[in-house]
Structure 1
């Protein structure tokens, strides 16, 4: 009967959460980055051609943009390293809350944050189940549906394979069995 260690429990928890949330979080992050790129284009778009004509190293480049959207500070992730205006280096880029691009970014940001909160909530619930049992057998009794994902963590006992020793050759080498005459001497 295999026991659940803390390390196994943590791996099992991560497996369950990744199964439930990985694709959703990847999609939400992609949407958030696309909304960040839209914010970048909204602010830098009309000057982008001129910015790209400037000598290499004249403007700084970054993969994120420090913004202020309707009074809220956001470090906006971008899809790649992009040229930034000098004004954006020294202060936050300000967007009014009624800007449609900013509204779309805030919506994507809220969706991403909501998924992170859902994952944390689910983590507590799954962890409570995993901490309530000490063996795989008990886990399968309490939560049989989890075996499809977590069954890979159960170590099967190894079958002892005895070495293939030729006993007759060994006996001959050692002079076994000892005859009764030799024992008498």
Structure 2
């Protein structure tokens, strides 16, 4: 009977949460990145060709794009440095709340936050179940549906395979059983 250690519980918790939320989070973040790209292009798009013609010392590049959408501040981070206009270098670029790209960005951002909140809530609930049991046997009794996902963490002790020995020959060689001497 294997016992659940703290490290094992943490790995199992991550496994359950990743199973339920990893793909949703990846898709939501991809949508957010696409919306951030569209927002960047809405502001910089028509000027990029002209800005590319300028010498490097005239261009400001940054991985961060600071925007204000209907009064809400959002700092957008990109993987690579992007050309930024002077306005985006020193202050937030303001978008109206009804701007289509801004609405798409806010929607995608809310979706990412909702999924993160759901994962956080499930983290507490799954952790409570895992902390309430001390063995795999009890876990399978309490939550049998998780067995298919978590049984890979259960390390069953190896059963020692004894050599095939003919016990009657061993007993004969050792003179067993010993007969009692009458007193």
Q: TM-score, normalised by structure 1?
A: 0.83
Q: Is the 8 A contact 1:2 1:135 kept in 2?
A: yes
Q: CA deviation at 1:35?
A: 0.3
Report the Cα offset of residue 16 of structure 1.
Answer: 0.3
* 2:126 corresponds to 1:130: no
Partner of 2:28: 28
Question: Which residue number in structure 1 is paired with residue 90 of structure 2?
Answer: 90
Separation in structure 2 between the aligned mates of residue 86 and residue 158 of structure 1, nearest angstrom: 68
Summarize deviations over 1:21-52 as a string: whole Å, max 9, x none.
Answer: 01110000000000000100111011111111
Q: Distance in 1 between matches of 2:22 and 2:61?
A: 30
Which whole-Å CA distance do the structure 2 matches of 1:31 and 1:79 have between them?
15
Structure-2 residue corresponding to 1:112: 112
Where in structure 2 are the equivalents of 1:1-185 lying within 5 Å? 1-78=1-78, 80-160=80-160
CA deviation digits over 1:121-145, x for unaligned, max 9? 1111111110110000000011111
Can you give the 5+ residue segments of structure 2 that lack an aligned partner in the other structure? 164-183
Gaps of 5+ in 1: 164-185
Larger CA deviation: 106-115 vs 54-63:
54-63
CA distance in 2, matches of 1:103, 1:45: 18
Cα distance in 2 between the residues matched to 1:57 and 1:159: 71
Deviation at 1:79, TM superposition (A): 5.8
- In the TM superposition, residue 106 of structure 1 has moved relative to its aligned partner by 0.3
For residues 161 and 89 of structure 1, the distance between their equivalents in structure 2, rounded to whole angstroms, comes to 72
Check the 8 A contact 1:66/1:74 in 2, yes or no.
yes
Q: Report the alpha carbon displacement of residue 161 of structure 1 after superposing the two structures with TM.
A: 6.4
In 2, Cα distance between the equivalents of 1:85 and 1:162? 77
Aligned equivalents of 1:120, 1:148: Cα separation in 2: 23
DSSP 3-state at the match of 2:158:
coil
Please state how far the C-alpha of 1:81 moved relative to its aligned partner: 2.9
Q: Distance in 1 between matches of 2:17 and 2:75?
A: 26
